[in-house]
Structure 1
């Protein structure tokens, strides 16, 4: 990675997401060695002569967004998934997953992470549920480090693995030896993606849970019981609590069909929930954001996948969420500022990074997003927080800084000289992937194949 310059952002409107710092109009933010050194009017003016100056006049600065559940490996499937018969998400994923090569895993992740940078996302939890071998995991990890972003890699099984097969627990034990701290640059940690008791038998999930906890690895799983059982009206999370599978080291994804008892179980155990409202509304139902927040369940937000298709336009997603919750519940719990909190400091808390990122706080790492507040869709403005959520767009993002490195500048991605463009590489790799699948007779799927069956909707 390129060196981290010292940076001085001048005259910006700071939305810090730190109650002790608050919102600061006309703020200067000094960054040294990738860390936020000082905040305030004329911050660092006496000792920042050597810093690169970013003129923040007419801008809004806030913490980088945190995505807590993203299947980066299938980013290449955008455009192949659709509403036509035979192009449903699961149909396409299952047809193409076995044909992924090492370069496909790398460039799919780099492409997804490039879109993350464009959208102001500086931390991504890569929930990889198509690890077909140790080299595939390594390709994802290398892509993440090469991108410059922060995050977590959660090691999962191959796509459509048989229920009786465990994750590659042997390789999971070797992962830290293969990737020592000095290579991870303080920007990446590891977790494990498990299928859980509704998709694997006790001899599998009990062993996987025990191994993950013995290794001290956080666990993530999809809450996907419903729509696979006749008359299902709950997620079965109470049963998971009884089995000792919930806890502060567990992240449950979606939980769209949780009933009141499920929500209580999550709250009692401190289990975290990552919601992906855009894909949940499309294929599962209404995310229970208000109910979870009011019960005290730790909640964060995520994109899920680029293959649905969706995009890394976080502000657009927040705007959709606040409107849906207002119509669905009439509650005032979900406000623009609460949503920004979910997308920043609460996401950092989900990943155990709240002491490192998630707010613009002196001493934390410099993961920052700078938006042009003078763009037509943001003026005239009253409350800048409401303006961002109600009318903000990804196009307003001028600069993205991750761990003190500028990765987006003046609206464009920053690539080193000679570095391949992840967007162009993704198109090349996708075409080659489809060609291999076609040669094997697996592509295109039959036009009579249902786009999404009722039993598949919750099986991400």
Structure 2
């Protein structure tokens, strides 16, 4: 870290929830914080300052992605025509075929794709914890990448054997002792990557007894963990018949499991529902649950692209009754890109379309009620609120951390739009190729439109390792992909589906 002067840019600043455009403004970054914002900033010793010319540029806060599975890079392109349960077999439970080394390369590539897209903070729902090494390698990769993340350590049902000849064998202990000892170790060691990588908890299996949930939350809080995330899709199974071949399996699960479908009510009953919880998706949420979520200050993350494709229901981030606690996520960069601008754009225009249809059906002329400013806030300041860091990230303000994205406002797509409305230029006309510079925690991680070389951490403690260019990272990622595909040969998808019904219900 050093001192950086961003000179003469068009800055998208915040005053509360209002976006204020500051033309021809400078931003002074000292270390990892914004020290000053103004016009014509002068410095006594410019020789010690790196100056980045921002004339013809739009300077934005870094974007915040509140739901992502960063380990899945090797499966990119696999799910383009799949619905949810097919993805679960072909994607989610494929972590069985990943070694810790494969997790490292998948995680590193996922982090760098996010940075490339102007995302500076990610809530990483890390559901691939087959061993302590799987977790520590993911953290090492996140720390190496330069991204700011919450590594939400997640217990999962772990497959032991998967072939085409017999039912999948799995470890029936969701929370073995080694999982807790790893949690303790990570909690004592966190944060990682000069403070950028914090520890959180991901949890999805609310079939366990309530006492287990309370105890897990208490252990996490004792370790200083203050962010919890869980998947929640209220309407997915409402009218979905269970295939008859799997009905016997499902009924057998009901015999010994306390099935809890409503995690909002459960967390409220356990006195655990508060502003430290992020629910992912919440498509089809009941009005009573929505009001409970809001009343307790909990947040949620919409991921429009996967939700619309995989049959989860309409994204709800733009609903007027819920938008105050909404934020935006990518979900699976194995299914779609990590470009959060695409998620914001797709979600907003879909929601506008829904409103238009309702207006027409009511005999009214459609109006544009959902505005760009609210859309921008979903990806910035509201994401910061969701991770309880609004005092540090999510907007460009003095004393906040220097997480900043710089767009080329003279690019073919942005040039005229930037003159008319810089906010519209970013949200409706920009693409990843227009992002010239990304700064995370005061360090330039992308410049001249390309990711800079990365120095790998030798371990989670931060000892320096080798320096790699993107070409070498891509080479090792492809080698890892080949190993994963080979490991998965002969694993019957139907057997995988049976496993999912048994464990997820």
How far, CA to CA, are the matches of 2:434 and 2:496 in structure 1? 35
Query: What SS does structure 1 have at the residue aligned with 2:468?
Result: coil
Say if 2:392 is the partner of 1:366: no
Q: Which moved more, 1:295-304 or 1:43-52?
A: 43-52
How far, CA to CA, are the matches of 2:19 and 2:416 in structure 1? 25
Shift of 1:210: 3.5
Task: Give the greater-gyration-radius structure (CA).
Answer: 2
- Structure-to-structure mapping, 1:182-261, within 5 angstroms: 183-197=192-206, 199-217=207-225, 218-230=227-239, 237-261=264-288
Shift of 1:34: 2.0
**Partner residue in 1 for 2:326:** 299
Deviations 1:168-190 (A, max 9, x none): 2232122133x255x54121211
Instruction: Provide closer, same or farther for how the CA distance between residues 265 and 96 of structure 1 changes in structure 2, counting only shifts above 3 A.
Output: same
Q: Which moved more, 1:42-51 or 1:112-121?
A: 42-51
Q: Which moved more, 1:36-45 or 1:357-366?
A: 36-45
Match of 2:299 among 268, 272, 282: 272
How far, CA to CA, are the matches of 2:14 and 2:239 in structure 1? 44
**Partner residue in 1 for 2:385:** 349
Shift of 1:106: 0.7
Contact 1:225 1:236 in 2 (8 A): no
How far, CA to CA, are the matches of 1:186 and 1:395 in structure 2? 29
Instruction: Provide closer, same or farther for how the CA distance between residues 450 and 376 of structure 1 changes in structure 2, counting only shifts above 3 A.
Output: farther
Q: How many residues align?
A: 442
Instruction: Provide closer, same or farther for how the CA distance between residues 95 and 34 of structure 1 changes in structure 2, counting only shifts above 3 A.
Output: closer
**What is the alpha-carbon root mean square deviation over aligned residues?**
2.9
**Partner residue in 2 for 1:282:** 309
**Partner residue in 2 for 1:411:** 449
**Partner residue in 2 for 1:43:** 41
Contact 1:67 1:302 in 2 (8 A): yes
How far, CA to CA, are the matches of 2:75 and 2:10 in structure 1? 38
Q: Which moved more, 1:218-227 or 1:376-385?
A: 218-227
How far, CA to CA, are the matches of 1:74 and 1:361 in structure 2? 34
Deviations 1:24-55 (A, max 9, x none): 10111111112111111112344544211111
How far, CA to CA, are the matches of 1:268 and 1:95 in structure 2? 35
How far, CA to CA, are the matches of 2:400 and 2:327 in structure 1? 20
* TM-score, scaled to structure 1: 0.88
Contact 1:267 1:296 in 2 (8 A): no
Match of 1:322 among 348, 356, 369: 348
**Partner residue in 2 for 1:169:** 180
Contact 1:153 1:188 in 2 (8 A): yes
Query: What SS does structure 1 have at the residue aligned with 2:479?
Result: helix
**Partner residue in 1 for 2:426:** 388
Query: What SS does structure 2 have at the residue aligned with 1:22?
Result: strand
Query: What SS does structure 2 have at the residue aligned with 1:401?
Result: strand
Say if 2:5 is the partner of 1:8: yes
Q: Which moved more, 1:167-176 or 1:341-350?
A: 167-176
How far, CA to CA, are the matches of 1:380 and 1:85 in structure 2? 39
Instruction: Provide closer, same or farther for how the CA distance between residues 210 and 322 of structure 1 changes in structure 2, counting only shifts above 3 A.
Output: same
Match of 1:77 among 68, 75, 78: 75
How far, CA to CA, are the matches of 1:85 and 1:294 in structure 2? 28
Match of 2:20 among 13, 19, 22: 22
Instruction: Provide closer, same or farther for how the CA distance between residues 279 and 86 of structure 1 changes in structure 2, counting only shifts above 3 A.
Output: closer
Shift of 1:327: 1.0
How far, CA to CA, are the matches of 2:371 and 2:497 in structure 1? 33
Instruction: Provide closer, same or farther for how the CA distance between residues 84 and 141 of structure 1 changes in structure 2, counting only shifts above 3 A.
Output: closer
Say if 2:504 is the partner of 1:424: no
Q: Which moved more, 1:104-113 or 1:81-90?
A: 81-90
Shift of 1:274: 1.3
